Amino acid sequence: MAKIVAGVWTSHVPAIGAALDLGKTQEPYWTRVFGGYEKSKEWIAKVKPDVCIVVFNDHATAFSVDIVPTFALGCAAEFEPADEGWGPRPVPVVKGHPELAAHIAQSIIQDDFDITVVNKMEVDHGLTVPLSLMFGQPKEWPCQIIPLAVNVVLFPPPSGKRCFNLGQAIRKAVESYPDDLRVVIFGTGGMSHQISGPRAGLINSDFDRAFLESLATDPSKATSIRHIEYMREAGAEGIEMVMWLVARGALSDNVEEIHRFYTVPASNTAVGHLILEDRASAPSALAAE
Ligand code: DHB
Ligand code: FE
């Protein structure tokens, strides 16, 4: 049977991708950011997931404002990196897992989550930057990836509660898949940031740190945050944090914190990062195997 053994949460700031792609990682501004992922890269190299489900948001790249699905599950065999205006990032094509993705779609739709099935989609920095942070710059990504795009770009985005519940349905779906697959789920985006308007540049470290603490110790607190509170406390783009709740909902209550990192700033936002292993589905020696 397939199992979700861990969750990884990380910001997806596009400038991080540019720093990697343009060879700027040794600059002091960036060593501060990338230093927070050294342990994470070692950890994931030991965990060796077969599949990563990456909960991310498209930034009007694959989906224009013509069609905005609230939840869109990538069921294709491949996802090309998108051209975001400066050309596609020079990263490998993302290989999907169509069988597991179709199984998840079937299971969660039967569980009343009417997600959109996507058989063709390009993926932007929302997905490729978290992969780069965790896997570095390999010729091929070391595992198959199932993208799950969440609308946080055009009002109204889904509630945190809905996102958390979707994560629970995804866990149930994965656990009913017959093959032995080791699955890691990523929650990406955030943390507090506002790109435009009078409050551009807003970062709220207290809010961000409390959110990370809630994910690690008491997700019900973060799950009850309303849209208006994200907007007020974390800025207009802080709503990206609801995506983190999908990944948290996909883990059990029995988690062990492996790593936490927070730094300000990277571009216009804070960088937050958390790794939790799920003790209900993974032995404590997971990373030491
Ligand atoms: C920035 C952050 C984002 O999440 C994004 O999608 C675009 C820009 C930024 O900090 O510049
Ligand atoms: Fe973003």
For 13-71, write each residue's pLDDT tens digit: 999 999 999 999 999 999 999 999 999 999 999 999 999 999 999 999 999 999 999 99
Spatial distance between the Cα atoms of 200 and 33, rounded to a whole number of angstroms: 21
The predicted pLDDT at position 85 comes to: 87
Angle 257-254-177 (CA atoms, 0-180°, nearest 5)?
105
Counting ligands in written order, the one closest to the CA of 267 is: 1
Residues in contact with 135: Cβ distance below 8 Å, sequence separation at least 6, in sequence order:
41, 44, 141, 142
Name the region of 111 (left: φ>0; alpha: ψ -120 to 50; beta: rest): alpha
- Identified catalytic residue from 12, 59, 103, 193: 193
Spatial distance between the Cα atoms of 200 and 216, rounded to a whole number of angstroms: 29
Protein residue with its CA nearest to atom 1 in ligand 1: 13
The predicted pLDDT at position 282 comes to: 81
- Identified catalytic residue from 12, 125, 227, 273: 125
The CB of 265 under 6 Å from ligand 1? The reply is no
**Helix extents (H) in the chain:** 14-21, 28-34, 38-47, 98-110, 125-135, 160-175, 205-217, 219-223, 227-229, 242-249
What distance in angstroms lies between residue 1's CA and the mean position of ligand 2's atoms? 34
The CB of 14 under 6 Å from ligand 1? The reply is yes
Q: Which atom in ligand 1 lies closest to the alpha carbon of residue 265?
A: 10
The CB of 158 under 6 Å from ligand 1? The reply is no
The predicted pLDDT at position 283 comes to: 77
Angle 227-56-139 (CA atoms, 0-180°, nearest 5)?
160
What distance in angstroms lies between residue 16's CA and the mean position of ligand 1's atoms? 10
Closest by Cα among 184, 99, 89 to 129: 89
**Residue whose tokens read 């501004």:** 29
The predicted pLDDT at position 265 comes to: 95
What distance in angstroms lies between residue 63's CA and the mean position of ligand 2's atoms? 14
The answer to whether residue 289 scores a pLDDT higher than 90 is no
What distance in angstroms lies between residue 8's CA and the mean position of ligand 1's atoms? 19
What element of type H or E holds 118? strand 116-118
Report yes or no: 95 and 144 within 8 Å, Cβ to Cβ: yes
The answer to whether residue 284 scores a pLDDT higher than 80 is no
Ordered structural domains, the chain, with CATH = 3-198+205-286 (3.40.830.10)
